[in-house]
Amino acid sequence: MEDDIALEEDFEGKPPLSEEENRLRKIRFEQEFYPHLGSLLRFSKTLVKEEDIAKDLVQETFIKAFRFMHYFEEGTNAKAWLFKILKNEFYSFYRKKTKEATFSGYESLEEETGEEDGLISQHAQNLSTEIFGQLIGDEMTMAINALPADYRMTFLLADLEGFSYEELAAIFKVPIGTIRSRLHRARNILKKQLTAYARGMGFKTDEDHDGL
């Protein structure tokens, strides 16, 4: 990934660390980065179905984090930094796997305005909240997995990990407005999907009565 290349170039010409420096680096690495391992693994598992691959991506993330640790500014957000690396790992894994230009293809969606979003939101709120309780995790996982990858990652990082718009903008290197629009769209798609599932299961939603 571009980030990696940039990092590699910077790395060249630096004097190797002394034994003592290296020892300290390891301690810092363990103290600052390992506590986030569980969060990254959970995130990776939601993105990739195959457990082994999910773990490999996290492993590779930590190995890179260690290698490039001198670029990590102490006192800044270690978790956000790790997720940024993991996101890149996921992208390159996904690109290798599909070779389709799926990611960039969806970006154009973000330029659209919110007229239709308002409608979806109105439509979805008719679904009573109790019905959601009846849906099982599988439907939800399927709905999340069906999201475009950029939306899915942004959404999961926001809702699962609680990153702020600003942190997300830094992780994805996009403007805050793009983050806001991705989240908005991702949630609307999910609401629509889950409404459809609930219907398919025979639950009546308020909307069914609209025509009466």
Partner 1 sequence: MMDCKTLLQLIQLYLDGEANTEQTELLLKHVNGCQDCRCIYEFETAFRSFLAKKMNEIPVSDREISELQKKISEQIQINES
For partner 1, the binding residues (CB under 8 A) are 22, 26, 34, 37-38, 41-42, 45-46, 55, 58-59, 62-63, 66-67, 114, 118, 121-122, 124-125, 127, 129, 132-133, 137, 140-141, 156, 158-160, 162, 164-165, 180, 183-184, 187, 190-191
Closer CB to partner 1, 22 or 102, in the complex: 22
Are 88 and 1 in contact by the 8 Å Cβ rule? The answer is yes
3 vs 56, beta carbon nearer partner 1:
56
Identify whether the C-beta of residue 139 lies closer than 8 Å to the C-beta of residue 197: yes
> Which residues, other chains included, contact 207 with Cβ-Cβ below 8 Å and sequence gap of 6+?
123, 126, 127, 195
**DSSP secondary structure of 99-166:** -S-HHHHHHGGGGS-SHHHHHHHHHHHTS-HHHHHHS-HHHHHHHHHTS-HHHHHHHHHHHTT---HH
Contacts of 61 (CB under 8 A, 6+ apart): 40, 82, 85, 86, 89
* Eight-state DSSP code of residue 8: H
CB of 69 to partner 1, least distance (A): 11
Q: Least distance in Å: CB of 104 to partner 1?
A: 25
Cβ–Cβ under 8 Å, residues 92 and 61: no
By three-state DSSP, how is residue 72 classified?
coil
User: Which of 98, 119 has the CB closer to partner 1?
Assistant: 119
Minimum distance between the CB of residue 147 and partner 1, rounded to whole angstroms? 12
CB of 127 to partner 1, least distance (A): 8
Query: What backbone phi and psi angles, to 5 degrees, belong to 163?
Result: -70, 145
| Residue whose CB is less far from partner 1, 127 or 148 | 127
Minimum CB separation from partner 1 for residue 176, in Å?
9
Q: Which is nearer to partner 1, 22 or 98 (CB)?
A: 22
The minimum distance between CB 193 and partner 1, in angstroms, equals: 12
Nearer to partner 1, 100 or 111 (CB): 111
